[in-house]
Structure 1
Amino acid sequence: MDISDLRIALFTGNYNYVRDGANQALNRLVEFLLRRGAAVRIYSPTVKKPAFPPNGDVVGVPSIPIPRRAEYRAPIMLPPSAKRDIRRFRPNMFHVASPELLGHRAVTLARRLDVPVVASVHTRFETYFRYYGLAFLEPLVVAGLRRFYRRCDAIFAPSESMAQLLREQRMNFDVGIWTRGIDREIFNPGRRDPAWRRSLGIADDVPVIGFAGRVVMEKGLDVFSDTIDHLERRQVRHKVLVVGDGPARNWFEKRLPNAIFVGFQRGGDVGRAIASMDMLFNPSMTETFGNVTLEAMAVGIPVVAAIATGSQCLVDDGRTGRLIRGGAITAYADALAFYCTDAEARRAAGAAGEAASGPYGWDEVNAALIDSYLRIIRQRAAGGRLPRSSPVP
């Protein structure tokens, strides 16, 4: 069996209606599969005006807006029409990308059809509740995630640090790596544009501290803004550039009145925006990989990030940037002040980061996942079966 024999049914709560790092990775995976001759069918909520055109054929499933995060939708079922479509498609692998109701129903159907099923882990869902006053729910969420992932043949994390966390949480006995790639046409040092910076009112000699990504509280916006307050009290010369949009943008704009907000950028524009920063500040504790961290490294700027899953596998502390204990405002401010005041240190860390980003090509990382698909299918064919129920110790 090879890649052209694969028939993948992919299930996700968001394939293209809101743009984020997870669904960008899924779309790149589908494009790779189709280009290599595999068949793919995607089952996901759909909207009239999605954020971008999807790769592959998408079958819509019923969904409702998520409370307090209405831009996202929660699938409420895997309808009979979708089940009939799946049976006609005859997949030999189910891939589930989000552990909500659609994912649970997909895993149940896969086991009923005796088809292997894998799950990819894209974010630390259990940590989100900390940012909405519901931290007491985290143990229950972890238990629910464990039950879900234990019903899969294997699960895949985007970084070794996240994979190790999943092993420690006993989420599955087969934990692999499906890392993330970088588009070198978009993210490279040549994208830096001094004229664009000047058009925003940023002088050439002013160091720019950047934020890039969805503007949501779980990205550590409170820590980011508190750290900037420290820099301003120390009178460290800098400018903050925020690239991205999201439901917390108004809060962030009020919190950082001197920052420049350029909104959502796409394609070459986002590469230009990140390359035109002088450092990236990523205090998020919810990342499983941190695509933007890799993008910043690829354009040749240092990264100051939290010691968190994902970032600690990308950032080489003291060489390509700094890794700081989550929430340590003074330490974050010290690291940013160092790069703001030492242009040579910025240059050296940026060059090291660009070199370290070299192995991350999309075709290479997706090919590794396909090898795992084929391994799991071979194991099933050789008699390997999941038990009808997977008890959690």
Structure 2
Amino acid sequence: MTETAQIPKRPRHIAIVSETFPPEVNGVANTLRHLCQGLMQQGHRVSVVRPRQHDENHAEAQGVGQALFTSEHLVTGIPLPGYPELRFGLARSGRLAKLWRRQRPDALYVATEGPLGVAAVSAARRLGIPVSSGFHTNFHSYSHYYGAGFLEKLLCGYGRWFHNRTAITLVPTRKMQAVVQGMGVHSTGLWSRGVDCMRFAPHKRDEALRRAWGVAANDRVVLYVGRLASEKNLQMASACYERIRNLHPKARFVLVGDGPLRKRLAERHPDYVFCGMQRGEALARHYASGDIFLFPSKTDTFGNVVTEAMASGLAVVAYDDAAASEHIHHEGNGMKADLSDDDGFIDAALKLADQPTLLNRIRAQARLDALDLNWSAQIEQFEQLVFNQQQRTKYHVLKQSIPLL
């Protein structure tokens, strides 16, 4: 029997530290929503440490809290440069240590690498609390998209220092695991993502919404869902759509999300449909009302939108990276191209637009394959990886306390 299989299934207290959290809308917050829900459903106590969010709606935050955590500790937040919607958390490690002395967690999971994460890791190490971290955001790769590529080595070194201070770093794909190990991070574990196939489903297709976009029943909607920001490689999405429209003039490009590039894109492409940020059932209807889903990012560590699009019955076009590297089978349940093959990305999208039979077959298979990506299995994997660090820490402390004879 393996060591992880021996972990007793009993309720634990896990503290989750993150500089982004629901009701914020992004991949990290979405993942933490499902994680907290899953842990609570397993009977665990979940406490959250996060910054106070900008313009936070108290009633909405309370509603989130009732579903996602047992207790919450808010710290001061300041806007993240280039991402004013997100905030750095500021807290002294001594203050967090005082909090965790009163309500000691069995384990700590630090989801973000900012100042709050650094303080949390320091406090946990001081108290001997097992601490794990997550590699959710590829910040060192973002530097190239903001004219600061010279910072990549510095950011990579910071990430290596940060994650090596934790017992294990959880990564969402095997490809990202190799990247993180290549950075010099010593201990990594594979923790993937599920998708809510009850929420995201083909039957939520909304013909009235499609008419509002200006498309008829047989016209193609090319869809993008995500942040409208430089690191998402939106110029490729735009170039790809323009090639499709040259051959299929009635196709429309619909973008769901917000970000710093929205104004520039809207001015340059007034014919594109900008839907802004969508949540819940409205988001599910927007997904299901598309046909071809473009995911041009080369920086995402996973990309929850890929599996959400699959669950919604869309044909995904992506690079062979992140979620697509694990879950997309070329011309089986989606289309993918090598990271260096921009022409291949466009050709894959054109093939879908030109071949309705292939498009429909891929859409049906994407939904079927998404049904296997449930969150319950991922919650169990998280428990094994994170709570196993508790067993190791206890053993290490016990061994150190035994005098040599």
* TM-score, scaled relative to structure 2: 0.89
Residues 15, 386 of structure 1: CA spacing in aligned structure 2 closer, same or farther, 3 A cutoff?
Answer: farther
- What secondary structure does 1:254 align onto? helix
Residue of 113, 129, 145 corresponding to 2:143: 129
8 Å CA contact retained: 2:93, 2:123: no
Q: After the TM superposition, which of the residue ranges 376-385 and 11-20 deviates more from structure 2?
A: 376-385
2:22 counterpart of 1:16: yes
Residues 108, 87 of structure 1: CA spacing in aligned structure 2 closer, same or farther, 3 A cutoff?
Answer: same
Amino acid across the alignment from 1:250: K
Q: How does 1:191-340 map to 2 (within 5 A)?
A: 191-234=204-247, 237-326=250-339, 328-340=341-353
Amino acid across the alignment from 2:189: G
Distance 1:63 1:131 in 2: 25
Q: How does 1:353-372 map to 2 (within 5 A)?
A: 353-372=366-385
How many residues are matched? 386
| Residue of structure 1 equivalent to 2:355 | 342
| Residue of structure 1 equivalent to 2:396 | 383
| Residue of structure 2 equivalent to 1:49 | 56
Distance 2:250 2:373 in 1: 34
| Residue of structure 1 equivalent to 2:4 | none
Distance 2:385 2:347 in 1: 43
Residue of 33, 39, 45 corresponding to 1:27: 33
Distance 2:24 2:379 in 1: 22
Q: Note the C-alpha offset of 1:216.
A: 1.8
Distance 1:383 1:83 in 2: 21
- What secondary structure does 1:336 align onto? helix
| Residue of structure 1 equivalent to 2:73 | 59
Distance 1:134 1:281 in 2: 27
| Residue of structure 2 equivalent to 1:374 | 387
8 Å CA contact retained: 1:236, 1:337: no
Summarize deviations over 1:261-310 as a string: whole Å, max 9, x none: 12222112211111111110000011111111101111222111122233
Return 5+ residue gaps in structure 2 as ranges.
1-6, 401-405
8 Å CA contact retained: 1:236, 1:340: no
8 Å CA contact retained: 2:171, 2:191: yes
Residue of 174, 187, 195 corresponding to 1:182: 195
- What secondary structure does 2:16 align onto? strand
| Residue of structure 1 equivalent to 2:403 | none
Give the % identical residues: 27
Q: Note the C-alpha offset of 1:112.
A: 1.1
Q: Note the C-alpha offset of 1:316.
A: 0.9
| Residue of structure 2 equivalent to 1:103 | 117
| Residue of structure 2 equivalent to 1:88 | 102
Distance 2:245 2:118 in 1: 48
Amino acid across the alignment from 1:88: R
Distance 1:21 1:281 in 2: 16
- What secondary structure does 1:43 align onto? strand
Amino acid across the alignment from 1:296: A
Distance 1:168 1:356 in 2: 31
Amino acid across the alignment from 1:350: R
- Alpha-carbon RMSD across the aligned residues, in angstroms, is 2.2
Distance 1:322 1:250 in 2: 30
Distance 2:120 2:229 in 1: 29
- What secondary structure does 2:396 align onto? coil
Amino acid across the alignment from 1:273: H
Residues 154, 276 of structure 1: CA spacing in aligned structure 2 closer, same or farther, 3 A cutoff?
Answer: same
8 Å CA contact retained: 2:220, 2:291: yes
- What secondary structure does 2:387 align onto? helix
Distance 1:191 1:384 in 2: 53
8 Å CA contact retained: 1:75, 1:101: yes
Summarize deviations over 1:91-116 as a string: whole Å, max 9, x none: 12111001111111111111111111
Distance 1:235 1:81 in 2: 60
Distance 2:397 2:42 in 1: 27
Summarize deviations over 1:165-198 as a string: whole Å, max 9, x none: 222322122x112211111221112112223212
Residues 127, 273 of structure 1: CA spacing in aligned structure 2 closer, same or farther, 3 A cutoff?
Answer: same
Amino acid across the alignment from 2:184: R
